C-alpha cells in the first residue's frame, strides 16, 4: 500500500547567497529528514529516508504517523538563515506490510483482520 505525505524541501544558500544543497522534512514524520545536491536527488533521498524510517518503526512495533498535514502556512515563519527558498509537494511512499497507523482517535493496521474465533465446548464455559 502507498501513502502520500506533504514534504518541505529547503534550498540552502551560503553567506554569499549562492545556493548549495537541499534539505527535506515532513511535518507529519518527526525525526526523519534527508539532504541532496539537486531537487531530483532530494526527492529520491527523502523517499528512501521515509520508507526506511517506516520499516524500522514497523519492525519495532511503533505506530506510523498519520498523514494529516495538507498545507503549510509560511506567513508566520521567520525565514531561517541560509534558506534561499522552499518547495512544498506530496511524496508518495510504499508502506511496510505490517504498518499500524496512529490516528488521533484509533490505531489501525494494514494487516487483514484475523478470522473470528468460534466457540468450542472447551471455551464455552461448560462445567461438568
Domains along the chain with CATH numbers: 2-109 (3.30.160.250)
pLDDT of the chain along its 128 residues, tens only? 899 999 999 988 777 767 788 999 999 999 999 999 999 999 999 999 999 999 999 999 999 999 999 998 877 766 666 777 899 999 999 999 888 887 654 444 454 444 444 444 444 444 44
Query: If 0-12 CB within 10 Å is exposed, 13-18 middle and 19+ buried, where does residue 47 land?
Result: middle
Cβ atoms of residues 3 and 64 within 8 Å: no
DSSP calls for 2-31? EEEEEEEEEEEE-TTS-EEEEEEE-TTSTT
| pTM, to two decimals | 0.74
Nearest partner of 42 among 25, 18, 55, judged by Cα: 25
Q: Alpha-carbon distance 47 to 86, whole Å?
A: 17
Amino acid at each position: 500500500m502507498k501513502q502520500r505525505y506533504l514534504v518541505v524541501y529547503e534550498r540552502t544558500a551560503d553567506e554569499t547567497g549562492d545556493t548549495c544543497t537541499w534539505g527535506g522534512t515532513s511535518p507529519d514524520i518527526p525525526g526523519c529528514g534527508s539532504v541532496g545536491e539537486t531537487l531530483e536527488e532530494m526527492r529520491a533521498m527523502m523517499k528512501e529516508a521515509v520508507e526506511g524510517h517506516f520499516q524500522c518503526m514497523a519492525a519495532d512495533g511503533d505506530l506510523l504517523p498519520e498523514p494529516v498535514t495538507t498545507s503549510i502556512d509560511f506567513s508566520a515563519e521567520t525565514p531561517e538563515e541560509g534558506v534561499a527558498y522552499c518547495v512544498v509537494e506530496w511524496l508518495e511512499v510504499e508502506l511496510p506490510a505490517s504498518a499500524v497507523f496512529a490516528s488521533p482517535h484509533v490505531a489501525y493496521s494494514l494487516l487483514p483482520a484475523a478470522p473470528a474465533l468460534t466457540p468450542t465446548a472447551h471455551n464455552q464455559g461448560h462445567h461438568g
